[in-house]
Amino acid sequence: MLSKICQLLLLLSLTIVSAAQAANLGAQESPIQKIPTAIAISLDKNQIPQDSVSISVVEIKSEAKDKSSGKSLVNWRANAPMNPASTMKILTTLTSLDVLGPQYRWRTNLFTDGTIRQGILKGNIYLQGTGDPKLVPEELAKMMNALQNLGIQKIDGDLFFDRSAYSPEVMLQTTIDGESTRSYNVSPDPLLYAFRTLSFHIEKSRTADFIDLSYTPALSQLKVTNQLRLVNKTCDNWKSGIGFALDPEDLNIASTQQLNASFSGVFPSGCKDAYFNVVALNANTFLTQGFAAAWELAGGVWVHPPAGKDEIVPISARPLLQFEGSRLADDVVDINKYSNNVMARQLFLTLALEKMGKPASIEKSGLVIQDWLKKMGLDFPGLVIENGSGLSRNETITAQQMNALLLTARNLPIGDTFYNSLPIAGTDGTMKNRLLTQLRKFFHLKKKPEVRIKTGSLADVRAISGYVISKSGRMYAVTSFINHPNAWRGLEAHDQLLAWLLEDGPEPKQAR
């Protein structure tokens, strides 16, 4: 009996030891359930409560065949739904690259109801858009050359615009801050031209003490009046001294009406140059005058200035030209590196257009993304997509879900294309001026660390999401969201987090 009791006690003690060892192993492997010290200190200094922050860090094992899972290092409120601001573009661009393919190109179709004789197109031109997000002056110039290659030198007709690719509600002008003349608030448009933005380049003359003023894109009926004066000041807050007016002010003016953009006030001598961007015209006027100017710059002639009106392509019209824009892989670089909102929204709607047919809508695009997530084996409860760009008060995702996207990308054929689209800290995009000091200490290394991060910012929101390759060559997926009125102070904490990962985070003892 005593022997049996001893055996039971021995078995029990072995079980307790095994359980303790297992618990200790679990503690070593389990992620940090608190915010790392340097980041916590920064948050406290900037009066950002820790319960308004979420952080997820996962080490991506390079030797693992399946990189869709990794070792979780930090898990602080990582399952809390948060507003991601522009880091939501990761979901839109990654899905689109995989669904549409990096070689995808948008098409702008041109039709006519007329005939071409002796170099004259006698009839109207109908432009039918599919949402090309980068139909810019350089691309429009190529379109004009393609028209001329059809034997057209003169157009005796009008322009009509077919925007049936999108549901009407997605083209309505809406903003989250009331700044309707700011480029980031431009609404989606199947025939979006040059982001509907007039960009004025202001620079000091190299030969005299006055200011040169140029603009893009060229518009057929725009005159610029320059009354700016040069003053001896630093370049800080240069925009406050400039007065801008567009005459007439009515945004619904006829496409053929003469416009006058006038500048007054002062420009600091401390500025080498600057760009003054403004959304000042309705979509039809902007496209009509842009198309007309591009045709004239190519040497073409109009019998009458085009008025530019909305109309569905008639059944009787015949195809004139199918113009293909830039590659999706190239456009994704612009979307992620420079956080272009309207390009992201156009891309989001393209998912619906290509997979569910027109008219594209937010609801249809959301269904395409949900279907892709399911195909990837990803379940994202609480995910809210409003427009796919992050320019929203309603969009939500968790830090853990965002990292799941980053890990999934490493297993996809388009993984490197996506990776290369992210801003590089200290080099380009929205991370150009970030981590300069921290990265400098690694200049002596043969293989230098790298930080590829999509940033996001709104009032009350700061966000980062992307990859860090540390000094030891380890790769980490990292996402952090701050949702708080003091979020604008959170840049330092996010830089501390990235710098911490460059150094490979804590040693195992600290991790315990």
What pLDDT does 247 receive?
A: 86
pLDDT in tens, 453-506: 999 999 999 999 999 999 999 999 999 999 999 999 999 999 999 999 999 986
Residues 6+ apart with CB under 8 A from 127: 108, 109, 110, 159, 160, 161, 162, 191, 287, 291
Q: How many domains are contained in the chain?
A: 2
| pLDDT higher than 80, residue 357 | yes
Band (253; pLDDT cuts 50, 70, 90): low
**Residues 264 and 333 both lie in one domain:** no
What pLDDT does 298 receive?
A: 97
Distance CA 289, CA 222 (A): 8
What CATH number corresponds to the domain at position 356? 3.40.710.10
Provide the mean pLDDT of the chain.
Answer: 90
| pLDDT higher than 60, residue 9 | no
| pLDDT higher than 90, residue 170 | yes
CA atoms within 13 A on the CB side of 63: 0
What pLDDT does 67 receive?
A: 55
Lowest mean pLDDT among 385-389, 435-439, 442-446, 504-508: 504-508
CA separation, residue 302 to residues 124, 138, 313, 380 (Å): 12, 21, 21, 54
The partner residues of 395 in beta bridges, in order of sequence, read none
**Residues 264 and 368 both lie in one domain:** no
Average pLDDT over residues 54-63: 90
pTM as predicted: 0.90
What pLDDT does 8 receive?
A: 36
Higher pLDDT, 30 or 274: 274
Determine the straight-line distance between the first and last CA of the chain, rounded to whole angstroms.
Answer: 43
Higher pLDDT, 205 or 115: 115
What pLDDT does 143 receive?
A: 97
| pLDDT higher than 90, residue 87 | yes
**Residues 371 and 500 both lie in one domain:** yes
| pLDDT higher than 90, residue 10 | no
What pLDDT does 11 receive?
A: 37
Average pLDDT over residues 143-161: 97
Distance CA 203, CA 257 (A): 29
Cis? peptide before 133, omega within 30° of 0: no
Question: Looking at residue 423, what DSSP letter applies?
Answer: P
Average pLDDT over residues 123-132: 98
pLDDT in tens, 261-308: 999 999 998 898 999 999 989 999 999 999 999 999 999 999 999 999
**Residues 492 and 390 both lie in one domain:** yes
**Residues 474 and 372 both lie in one domain:** yes
Nearest Cα neighbor of 171 from 87, 253, 284 is 284
**Residues 360 and 442 both lie in one domain:** yes
- Residue 239 is assigned to a structural domain of this protein: yes
**Residues 216 and 93 both lie in one domain:** no
| pLDDT higher than 80, residue 7 | no
> 89 and 457 in contact (C-beta within 8 Å)?
no
pLDDT above 90: percentage of residues in the chain: 80
Higher pLDDT, 82 or 177: 82
| pLDDT higher than 90, residue 81 | yes
Higher pLDDT, 152 or 1: 152
What pLDDT does 22 receive?
A: 31
Distance CA 440, CA 426 (A): 9
Distance CA 369, CA 351 (A): 8
Band (32; pLDDT cuts 50, 70, 90): confident
Distance CA 42, CA 366 (A): 37
What pLDDT does 206 receive?
A: 74
Give the E-state strand segments of 169-219 in sequence order. Answer: 198-204, 211-216
**Residues 333 and 477 both lie in one domain:** yes
Six token digits for residue 413: 């054929």
- Residue 448 is assigned to a structural domain of this protein: yes
Higher pLDDT, 57 or 177: 57
Q: Which helix (H) or strand (E) holds 398?
A: none
Average pLDDT over residues 361-373: 98
Average pLDDT over residues 64-76: 77
- Residue 477 is assigned to a structural domain of this protein: yes
**Residues 339 and 433 both lie in one domain:** yes
Distance CA 13, CA 253 (A): 87
**Residues 270 and 340 both lie in one domain:** no
CA separation, residue 3 to residues 7, 17, 46 (Å): 6, 21, 65
Distance CA 191, CA 375 (A): 32
pLDDT in tens, 221-234: 999 999 999 999 99
Higher pLDDT, 16 or 73: 73
- Residue 305 is assigned to a structural domain of this protein: no
- Residue 219 is assigned to a structural domain of this protein: yes
- Residue 319 is assigned to a structural domain of this protein: no
Residue with tokens 């002010």: 249
Band (62; pLDDT cuts 50, 70, 90): confident
Domain holding 238, by residue range, is 198-278
| pLDDT higher than 50, residue 14 | no
- Residue 23 is assigned to a structural domain of this protein: no
Q: Which helix (H) or strand (E) holds 455?
A: strand 450-458
**Residues 388 and 472 both lie in one domain:** yes
Band (64; pLDDT cuts 50, 70, 90): low
- Residue 314 is assigned to a structural domain of this protein: no
pLDDT in tens, 308-336: 999 999 999 999 999 999 999 999 999 99
Of 256, 278, 300, which residue sits at a domain end?
278
> 407 and 69 in contact (C-beta within 8 Å)?
yes
Lowest mean pLDDT among 242-256, 274-288, 427-441: 242-256
Nearest Cα neighbor of 128 from 164, 102, 157, 92 is 164
**Residues 353 and 226 both lie in one domain:** no
